[in-house]
Amino acid sequence: MFMPDDLSAPRLEAGLKVTGAARYAADLRVEGLLHAALVAATIPSGRVLGVDATRARRLPGFIDIMTHENAPRVARPGFLIPLQDPRVHFAGQPVALVVAGTPHQAALAAAAVEVCYEEWAAVTSIGQSHGTAFAPATAGLVATDSRRGDPERAIAEAEQVLVRRYTTAANNHHPIEPHSVMACWDQGRLTVRTTTQAVFAHRNAIAACFGLPVERVRVVCEYLGGGFGTKGGAWFSGLTLGIMAARHAGRPVKLELTRAQMFTMVGRRQETIQQVKLAATRQGRLTAIRQDTVAQTSTYADYADPTGTLARLLYACPNVATSHRLVRVNAPQPNPMRAPGEGPGSFALESALDELAEALGIDPVELRCRNFADHDQHAGLPWSSNGLLACYRAGADAFGWARRPRACASLRAGRHLLGWGMASACYPVYRMASEADVRIHRDASILVRCGTQDMGTGTITVLGQLAAAALGVRLTSVRVEIGDTLLPEGPYSGGSHATASFAPAVEEAALSLRQHLIGLAVADPLSPLYGLAANEVAIADGYVKSIAGNRSEPLAELAARLAPDGLVASARAAPDPKPRHSSYGFGAVFAEVRVDPELGEVRVARLTAAYAAGRILNPLLARSQFVGGLVGGIGMALHEATLMDERLGRILDDSLSGYLIPTHADMPCFDIHLLEEVDPHLASGVKGIGMLGTVGTAAAIANAVFHATGRRLRDLPMRPEHLLGPAAP
């Protein structure tokens, strides 16, 4: 297949974004548009007794107010839909919505609304739950619990046993672009322009919620300013409020969330308490693993991250058990956040592996190599491919791991302590059905259409590259349309689904179109390729040419002569419902930290990471994805924690000045290695990479902090005060 010279092409839409020409959901306007603002509950549990909008009604621009008493009634397909009843589940829950002429007028009117409550007793933290944990139906997409062998007996008989408790804080997604929705009803049809990671999934949920045929609902999201999971299912409650307001007002309505509302309205990574038990021989062979998680969910819905899944399969071990339990808390509902489950779960598992290596006197990389799993023992399937050992070698060599001294606190740079740590990374390959079509116009320009969306990761560019490569044209001649349910149905952007799902469909459509064009050429007496067999003809560099190289014709001339109205090919690709192999992306992360022994400040100096993640379609974009994942791991390790006043049930750090995230000053030197990996068992050979970069990163940093200081920190985030206080055993 022809591969264009610009394999690492920059984003097709880059110019539009940097010049401000790209129009995001909140930028859009329509005639007669009204604006909505939310009134949020100030109590964590109870019910609304009354809403007084007297002062709000006197303000300029006020149009109307919507409460649980007058809001349109809708179906509830598995989501909390506000304003359907007076119940309050958490502080920050919408209890009213004001509609006004401008955003400023709506905000002022919402602030003037007075709400009277009956307050009930609340549980605002896992610590207040008093043993009420329960088993959810599933943990993410997998079974709640797992067991093979007899872990308890293996632990009782083991030569070396490690039992540790690890915790991770609640984290909030904070993409640059806040959530917004603009809803327009027109004669029973609904058009929704919104910030969504799933135009088709949201269309289907909206149709079910409002009792509409799906063909009467259109969802559009041309540009998306980041998501990380927050613009998926969790946004549905806010999305429906905008739609309800438009129906109630009888005019188009736009609702935009404030940064503070993003702490309560659109999900978060759940807080976890994890207990890990490891049993091993003195030679470092794992004989048992137990990983048990207790996590927070809301009072109105269940959600469990698959925190223990890596323990089930990452290492060879005959006796493994994992469990997931939930505690109901009067707090916002958690939902997937980048590397859901595997991110916090890898912190506990990979920290425990490091502690085991220290106890046994074995190098951490060597310990992991000794326990390499040559197949997926949990599923009982062979790997479709597994480059983990190669990642250890490549990462260790690039990092200089062989020079790492065994003793803690033995490396210094001036007054700072240096530490080196590492961890494994692993994330499953997910795919869903996807459709796409590829069209060639008479001037040989190409149009790719797929109803997926681009969170800013490069989806538009990769869609164009796939078609350009298959059709032998330059990327500059390709245009891409995405983000609209009027297009062929594409995948959602989450769980590293998107590229692995649409790549086979786009390639199949483009190759079908290619074969059609070649067939036209060899059958046309006016073509210099007339009479050749189809397998003797190729398309490359914008020409239809014989493989022998003695005949050719510009593709544009062929298209203009034989397809003046254009040609289109469509395809649908779907995953095998009964896969015969277990498919994962793998990696190894190596971290160097600098610790100020007097101030307790930790800085990540460099991160070296090697990944075996299938076919890399665009190395430039892939590296950007991995850097983004690593930055998320830095935030999880050192900065991010959503803090709640347990007495009031209110979030304290609901701004970007209070909620700490990594900034440019926190960025280390990134050294990313993308290992060549051909996976013949995957369609198009593609593994998703969006999540993989976050997995293991927090553990690698924590392990480096231990190597620098000799202090083991088992609670995230690791803040300076944790290094200045008494050491944990």
Alpha helices in 549-673 (DSSP H): 555-562, 619-638
Q: Which of 618, 559, 521, 573 is nearest to 439 (CA)?
A: 559
- The Cα diameter of the chain in Å comes to 86
257-276 b/e with 16+ CB inside 10 Å = b?
Answer: bbeebbbbbbbbbbbbbbbb
Q: Crossing angle, helix 555-562 and helix 498-523, to 10 degrees?
A: 70
Q: Which of 346, 305, 322 is nearest to 140 (CA)?
A: 305
Comparison of pLDDT for 3 and 407, the residue scoring more: 407
Q: Is 2 a residue whose pLDDT tops 50?
A: no
pLDDT band at residue 5 under the 50/70/90 scheme: very low
User: Residue 578, CB half-sphere, CA atoms under 13 Å: how many?
Assistant: 0
Q: Is 3 a residue whose pLDDT tops 70?
A: no
* Residue 256 backbone dihedrals phi, psi, to 5 degrees: -120, 130
Name the amino acid, one letter, at 134: F
Domains of the chain: 25-121+176-226+231-263 (3.90.1170.50), 272-430+579-724 (3.30.365.10), 432-573 (3.30.365.10)
What are the residues facing 416 on neighbouring strands?
413
Q: Is 695 a residue whose pLDDT tops 80?
A: yes
Helix, strand or coil, per DSSP, at residue 189 = strand
Instruction: Report residue 320 as tokens.
Output: 């493994």
Q: What is the pLDDT of residue 1?
A: 36
Q: What is the pLDDT of residue 4?
A: 44
Q: 517, 558 in Cβ contact below 8 A?
A: yes
Mean pLDDT of 627-641: 97
Q: Which of 436, 440, 521 is nearest to 477 (CA)?
A: 440
pLDDT band at residue 462 under the 50/70/90 scheme: very high
DSSP structural state of residue 418: E
Mean pLDDT of 379-390: 98
**Beta strand pairing status for 434-440 and 138-139?**
unpaired
CA distance 303 to 140: 7
CA distance 682 to 185: 42
What are the residues facing 286 on neighbouring strands?
280
Q: Crossing angle, helix 459-471 and helix 498-523, to 10 degrees?
A: 30
At residue 706's C-alpha, the angle toward residues 701 and 709, to 5°, is 120
Q: What is the pLDDT of residues 646-671, one digit of tens each?
A: 999 999 999 999 999 999 999 999 99
Q: What is the pLDDT of residue 393?
A: 98
Burial of 557 from C-beta contacts in 10 A (0-12 / 13-18 / 19+): middle
Q: Give the mean pLDDT of the chain.
A: 96
CA distance 460 to 214: 25
pLDDT band at residue 129 under the 50/70/90 scheme: confident
CA distance 458 to 436: 17
Distances (CA, A) of 328 to 136, 230, 296, 301: 11, 20, 6, 9
CA distance 469 to 471: 6
CA distance 279 to 258: 48
Q: Is 80 a residue whose pLDDT tops 90?
A: no
Q: What is the pLDDT of residues 589-629, one digit of tens each?
A: 999 999 999 999 999 999 999 999 999 999 999 999 999 99
User: Residue 637, CB half-sphere, CA atoms under 13 Å: how many?
Assistant: 29
Q: What is the pLDDT of residues 255-302, one digit of tens each?
A: 999 999 999 999 999 999 999 999 999 999 999 999 999 999 999 999
DSSP structural state of residue 171: B
* Residue 161 backbone dihedrals phi, psi, to 5 degrees: -130, 135
Residues of the chain with pLDDT > 70, as a percent, come to 98
Comparison of pLDDT for 20 and 3, the residue scoring more: 20
Q: 277, 163 in Cβ contact below 8 A?
A: yes
Q: Which of 617, 604, 627 is nearest to 673 (CA)?
A: 627
For the chain, how are helix, strand and coil distributed in percent, rounded to 5? 30, 25, 45
User: Residue 371, CB half-sphere, CA atoms under 13 Å: how many?
Assistant: 30
Q: Which of 670, 522, 663 is nearest to 590 (CA)?
A: 670
CA distance 396 to 625: 21
Helix, strand or coil, per DSSP, at residue 350 = helix
Q: Is 78 a residue whose pLDDT tops 70?
A: no
Q: 68, 95 in Cβ contact below 8 A?
A: yes
Q: Is 6 a residue whose pLDDT tops 60?
A: no
Q: Which residue has the tokens 């958690």?
A: 334
Q: What is the pLDDT of residues 477-499, one digit of tens each?
A: 999 999 999 999 999 999 999 99
